[in-house]
Every structure is written in structure tokens, then in C-alpha cells.
Amino acid sequence: MVCHEGHLRKMQVALAGPVEYQLPLDDQLVPLNDFLGQVIRITHTGVIHCAHCGRRSNKSFNQGHCYPCFTKLAQCDICIVSPEKCHYEQGTCREPEWGEQHCMVDHIVYLANSSGVKVGITRESQLPTRWIDQGAVQGLPILRVKTRLQSGLAEDLLRQHVADKTNWRTMLKGAIAPVDLPTTRDALFDLCDKGMTQLEEQFGLQAFQRLDAAPVDIEYPVLEYPVKVASHNMDKNPLVEGTLMGIKGQYLILDNGVINIRKYTAYHVEVAL
């Protein structure tokens, strides 16, 4: 076994057949696909440093932040989880410059098939990474909008008829039936025609551009999916060890359970593989 150490970040991905995964440990990038079928050991050393400021923290908030950063950073505000609650125009954004760079830019409203069809939003630059992070086997952009707020309002309208969350346990079992996403998109637009017209009247026709894109199919490096999904918890047991059976979303699938790497952002670990 070769040992590596550093602070975890969410896995870096590249769309390929299958998806290529790398595990960031500080400045290192450890390729993972080649280790399928081999034993991997991850040990949390008990140390957590904030992913933003580097301060040592007893607990990780919002995937890798210390408590002061969690309460001060715009990227940790409620509107990141619920973009329809964006308050930039009210002058109360925690970091207006950050908001201009990340929220006052074009966003994509999409459909994805992860544990079934769901609607979501992301910046255009984050596709297809966003789909892969969610473990989607299909993705389809359906709208381009001018701001994060507008994408949230469109998502809020569409999720009255389709899910907006992934059931991670179902996603990790692997038996996700393919869906005709363009047909689903057209049906949703018909159902939401009145609401979409109201949004266009409020923000202007150019604010919501309907897209006629082709769906993207995504394949993951998995030897075997679990029948029952049990999750490792490094806060309770700092040692996670097992045979790497697959990688999907931000999860490592071991022969004795799964671990959500993104959940442990900023944890200092030793990795042997």
C-alpha cells in the first residue's frame, strides 16, 4: 500500500466512459479509478481545518467551514441552498462582490436522472460536474437564466411537478431506469406554462431562454452496487477500510459500506491504497 495524507476536498471528476475520479488531499490529486477491486484505508487523524480560512475547528459546518466562516460567508448563506431566497437586491448580501461573481451570472436549470427525475440549478460552468456529483446517469439543460435568483424561481415552479432532491440510497443501489428527458421537459413546460409566462413578464423574455439540448448519459466506475446501503461515519469511527467496489456521485462504494467524501471536506486524513 502507498500512503497519502492531507485535508479532504470533494472528489474532482472528468466526464469519460466511465467518469474519472481524483481524490484531492491538500495539493495532491490521487487517481482512484485504478484502485477498483483493491483495499483502501482512510483514517481521520482527528484534525479539521476550515476550508476557507484554515482555522482549526472541532466541527465542520456546511461541508468544511469553521463556525465563524459559516456565519459570515455568502457561500454559506441560506440562499445558496434556497436560491429563490436570494436577497442581493435588498442590499443584505453577506459579500456583495462574491454575489456578483457567483450569483449575478447566467445559470442553468436542468433535469437529471439520479434516483429518478429531478430538477436542479447550477452555473453553466459547473456542468456536467454538478450532475456527476449527484450521481445522475442522465442530464439535460432546459433553461438558461440571467441570475441565481431567477433560476431559483424557475426551479421552485418546476418542482411542484417533479422532485428537486436525490434519494442517495436509491442512487447508490444503481438500478436507475433510463428516462426520456426531452419528453419530460416538454411536459413540464406545458404544466408550468402560466407560471413561466408570469416570470417572463416580471423579468423579461430574454431572462429565461428555453434550451433544445441533447441529453448527456453518464457512466460510473462501479464493479458492484450494494444491495443494502450502509454509511460509514468518520466522526464515530475514524478508520474506514474496505475493498473499493465503485465510485458514484461523491461516494466511495466499499464492500462493507459507503462513505460520502464531500461530507468530510476539511478533515485531515491518511489514505492508504
- Segment 76-94, tens digit of pLDDT: 999 999 999 999 999 999 9
pLDDT, one tens digit per residue, over 90-102 is 999 999 999 999 9
- What pLDDT is recorded for position 142? 98
Could you tell me the pLDDT band of residue 205, with boundaries at 50, 70 and 90? confident
Strand order, beta sheet including 20-25: 12-14, 20-25, 28-31
- What pLDDT is recorded for position 15? 98
Mean pLDDT taken over the chain: 96
- What pLDDT is recorded for position 213? 96
pLDDT at 1 over 90: no
- Cα–Cα distance between 86 and 147 in angstroms, integer? 10
Could you tell me the pLDDT band of residue 105, with boundaries at 50, 70 and 90? very high
- What pLDDT is recorded for position 13? 98
Other CB atoms within 10 Å distance of the CB of residue 57: 21
- Mean pLDDT for 46-71 is 97
Could you tell me the pLDDT band of residue 175, with boundaries at 50, 70 and 90? confident
For the chain, which residues make up each domain, given as ranges? 3-57+221-272, 108-216
Could you tell me the pLDDT band of residue 206, with boundaries at 50, 70 and 90? confident
Which three cell numbers, joined as nine digits, stand for 257?
459500506
Q: Where are the alpha helices (DSSP H) in the chain?
A: 67-72, 78-81, 96-102, 129-133, 148-158, 168-173, 181-191, 193-203
Element (H, E) at 140: strand 138-145
Give the residue among 114, 151, 108, 118 at the shortest CA–CA distance from 134.
114
- What pLDDT is recorded for position 235? 96
- Identify the residue whose cell numbers are 485535508: 7
- What pLDDT is recorded for position 216? 98
